[in-house]
Amino acid sequence: MDRCSHRRLSALTLAIGISWLTWMIESGTIPAFAQNHPTHAENAAQTIKTPDILRDSCDIPPTVDKRSFIVMHVILTSKGLAGSFRPYYGSFRTHNAAMTAIQPAWMGPLVQSDPRLGQAIRFSVSDAAFPGEQTLNYGNNHGISVIANRRFELDLDPPSFFRNHSSAHKDGFGNAATELKWRISSGNVERGNYAVSAIMYYAFAPRAYQNQMLTSFYAPALAAGRGFGRFAVMSKLGGILPTGKIAHQGRGIEWDVTTQVHSTARTWFEVEDNALFNYAGPFDGKTQNFLTPAAFCMIRRRKWRPEHATVVIGGGMQIATSSFQFYNHNLISEVRVVF
């Protein structure tokens, strides 16, 4: 606890103590005990006979209820304590603005992981064509991202809900996941306009067939990006490492490449290439590849400042370009609240 917090706690304790002492005086408890003290017996006796002195010493008008005075003490102190949290909340909201001094200013990709650190809440829905069924994914493995400091970002992704529209597969929730991102190095437009980060993604044991993973798994990756004026190129290379049942589900290597253009002040367009190389398991040696065109539009308040929240509306579709794929024509809609 810092020095300012100690001062606020001391002020709160002092205010409560004064309020309690005031109530004790008004109820006559303090004078009663004072009579038994040899050094204060005379003063206590005079105090009992002269209630006006008590009123003056407490500085309370006769028409004001004494309990109201105590409540006023608590309310004023509580307001001061609540106000002390405002600087922390304001500092939390300025994390994204502070990172612009050391990071590029492109838009985070729709599918690929962003090499930068960011703070946002993502609401995403996807609609993909699986063999024999059309599956809606509410959540799409996204949640909240928080910048812990200038080096680390923590993501918490609640389980998605899958609507299969199929009698063969039941609807239900998928797996929850968490992600830790470490910013290795970066620079804004004046210092190279690039970003490099390491990512560790962990998904808990799935509860739905659609996840295609029978156990929990790790997904370590390296992500990097470089800006060139209005254009940006980003890439991520990583692996999918299940914690068991390798013969039934295998392992995989993911390689994503994104090309993006900042077309206007509030719009971005991009094309992603999302590849998955399967090893071991039933799909050993098979490759799945998608091309994903996407677009984003940013919405800001009229008198926007860097510490204010921003809403980003985005969408795109994963279109399979390989003969082997688990699904196809995956339409993704997303709303981000960047704060």
- Sequence spans of domains, the chain: 3-93, 96-338
CB 316, CB 295: distance < 8 Å: yes
Q: Tell me the β-bridge partners of 144.
A: 121, 156
Distance in angstroms (rounded) separating the CA atoms of residues 199 and 219: 8
pLDDT in tens, the chain (339 residues): 554 554 454 555 555 555 555 544 444 544 433 344 444 434 444 443 434 434 444 444 444 455 555 555 555 555 555 555 556 566 677 788 889 899 999 999 999 999 999 999 999 999 999 988 999 999 999 999 999 999 999 999 998 898 988 878 888 888 889 999 999 999 999 999 999 999 999 998 876 555 567 888 999 999 999 999 999 999 999 999 999 999 998 999 999 999 999 999 999 999 999 999 999 999 999 999 999 999 999 999 888 888 889 999 999 999 999 999 999 999 999 999 998
Using the structure block, give the residue that is written with the tokens 């492109």: 106
Distances in whole angstroms, Cα of residue 30 to Cα of each of 33, 37, 41, 46, 256: 5, 11, 12, 13, 76
- In whole angstroms, what separates CA 86 from the centre of its chain? 18
Tell me the pTM. 0.73
SS3 for 224? strand
User: SS3 of 131, please?
Assistant: coil
CB 228 within 8 Å of CB 254: no
d(CA 84, CA 163): 46
How far apart (Å, rounded) are the C-alpha atoms in residues 8 and 87? 14
Q: Which residues pair with 152 in a beta bridge?
A: 182
Fold entry, domain 96-338: Porin (2.40.160)
Please state whether beta strands 328-338 and 161-163 pair in parallel, antiparallel, or not at all (unpaired): unpaired
